[in-house]
Amino acid sequence: MVKKKSSIGLAAAILVAGISPAFGGDILRGEEYFRHHCAACHGAEADGVGPMAGVLLVPPPDLTVLSARNDGAFPTVRVVMRIDGRDPLVSHGSPMPVYGPFFQQGPDVALKAGTGQPILTSEPIADLVAYLKQVQAQ
């Protein structure tokens, strides 16, 4: 019974704070965002060979193997923090992302981390993460 009460309390706190309780994102919107904002560096196939990759100080990674490089688990927290700037990477002459203001707009949503705990992020980042999860190599 205690667990049920704490879950209800968490849901109520999220709603009061104006945060969407959804634990996911829109894959199709995420693909659109990727193509528009990320493919120039990371490649149309998210394989790290975009047309701008050669001019970056740090080569963009192959985003299709994030899970494989993390013992089969998609590194949600690390990806969110890299995109939103909490884990900065200076590869463009400025911290990633170069489209930071775009990805900070919209309502806040909670994504489920690998531990089961929520991580708060913006809706566009949640959509992008949903797309990146889908393109992981099998």
**Cβ neighbours around 8 below 10 Å, total:** 10
Mean pLDDT of 42-54: 95
For residue 22, pLDDT over 80 is answered with no
Alpha-carbon gap, residue 95 to 87, rounded angstroms: 9
> Tokens 């949600």 identify what position?
76
Instruction: Give the residue from 60, 55, 51 showing the smallest Cα distance to 132.
Output: 60
For residue 13, pLDDT over 80 is answered with no
For residue 16, pLDDT over 50 is answered with no
Q: 53-76: per-residue pLDDT in tens?
A: 988 888 889 999 999 999 999 999
Predicted local confidence at residue 85, as pLDDT: 82
- Judge if the upstream peptide bond of residue 51 is cis by omega within 30 degrees of 0: no
Q: 121-134: per-residue pLDDT in tens?
A: 999 999 999 999 99
Mean pLDDT of 31-51: 96
Q: Which domains does the chain have, with CATH numbers?
A: 20-134 (1.10.760)
Alpha-carbon gap, residue 18 to 10, rounded angstroms: 13
Alpha-carbon gap, residue 30 to 16, rounded angstroms: 27
Percent of the chain with pLDDT over 90: 53
Average model confidence (pLDDT) for the chain? Answer: 82
In this structure, what DSSP letter does residue 48 have?
S
